[in-house]
Amino acid sequence: MERGNQTGAGHFLLLGFTEQPGLQPFFFGLFLSLYLVTFTGNLLIILAIISDSHLHMPMYFFLSNLSFSDICFTSTTVPKMLWNIQTQSKVITYEGCLSQIFFFIVFGCLDNLLLTVMAYDRFVAICHPLHYMVIMNPQLCRLLALGSWCLSIMGSLLETLTLLRLSFCTHMEIPHFFCDLPEVLKLACSDTLINNIVVYLVTVVLGVFPLSGILFSYTQIFSSILKISSARGKYKAFSTCGSHLSVVSLFYGTGLGVYLSSAATSSSRTSRVASVMYTIVTPMLNPFIYSLRNRDIKRALGQLLSRLVPLSFGGP
């Protein structure tokens, strides 16, 4: 990267949501509240799964990984935004921007892959129930989780490292609250053809293929459910994948909303609002979806909170 073409010592300016000083405290309080709810909710899910031996099953193992990924995904963008609002600064360093892009892509792709693995888990549970524990053995579960992490890191490295070849002009303002890769590419003075090819390649491999896997899994699941004769049996089978289906719909629905809003309008404000749904609201809602629709999770959370509340008040 040619540092001579950059402003200052190499930094970008995150414009955030508004430049009106009177609205800054409102946005700070709003996003701090959303972040704390997201962090606390997902952390409680992780602790509940770890502390309850009845939840040491493949589905909940992947759910704990998803909750950890959601915490990291939100932590990639929100703390920096809150810091900038509090200090009334818009600056993010070149290195900080690349780090934010790297981790944002890692945990975004990881969410996607984990949801795909969870769809496969539900497919095996409903379509091959007698062989479920044999197929979804602990070794396979660990390999699927590790593979999801490795693929996400490799895809993110590929996209981030190609940014190093770019030079940037003097106009370094990013009309967003975090370093969004497409917005950063718009600021480049040099040719971004290779970067765009890499973005499309990673999107297909870590986005389109996993989504196709989810759709195929649910096609088989619904086909198996329809073959069940009793209404009670159908309801019981469907209820085992209801939470995951809700999370998948929310994840891809908000992601598609971000894409359509950016494609349909040039308004950066519309794109920023859509991105909030994808980067903050979805990770915040996931614990509520699983805790409200899953009796095992509700029971484990109740037991966990019953142990934590006395400790917080100095009890035995």
pLDDT for the residue numbered 263? 56
What is the C-alpha to C-alpha distance for residues 253 and 211, in angstroms, rounded to an integer? Answer: 12
SS3 track for 88-99: CCCEEEHHHHHH
Give 207-220 pLDDT, tens digit per residue: 899 999 999 999 99
pLDDT for the residue numbered 173? 86
In the CATH scheme, what is the homologous superfamily, with its name and number, of domain 3-312?
Rhodopsin 7-helix transmembrane proteins (1.20.1070.10)
Whether 187 and 171 have beta carbons less than 8 Å apart is answered as yes
CB-based contacts of 175, cutoff 8 Å, min separation 6: 15, 183, 268, 272
Average pLDDT in the chain:
86
Higher pLDDT, 259 or 159: 159
Q: Tell me the one-letter amino acid at 31.
A: F
Q: What does the domain layout of the chain look like in residue ranges?
A: 3-312
pLDDT for the residue numbered 262? 60
Statement: residue 167 has pLDDT above 90: no
pLDDT for the residue numbered 193? 92
Higher pLDDT, 183 or 4: 183
Please state, for a pLDDT cut of 70, what percent of the chain lies above it.
89
Record the pTM. 0.89
Summarize the confidence of residues 191-196 as an average pLDDT: 92
What is the C-alpha to C-alpha distance for residues 248 and 214, in angstroms, rounded to an integer? Answer: 9
Whether 137 and 57 have beta carbons less than 8 Å apart is answered as no
Give 70-86 pLDDT, tens digit per residue: 999 999 999 999 998 88
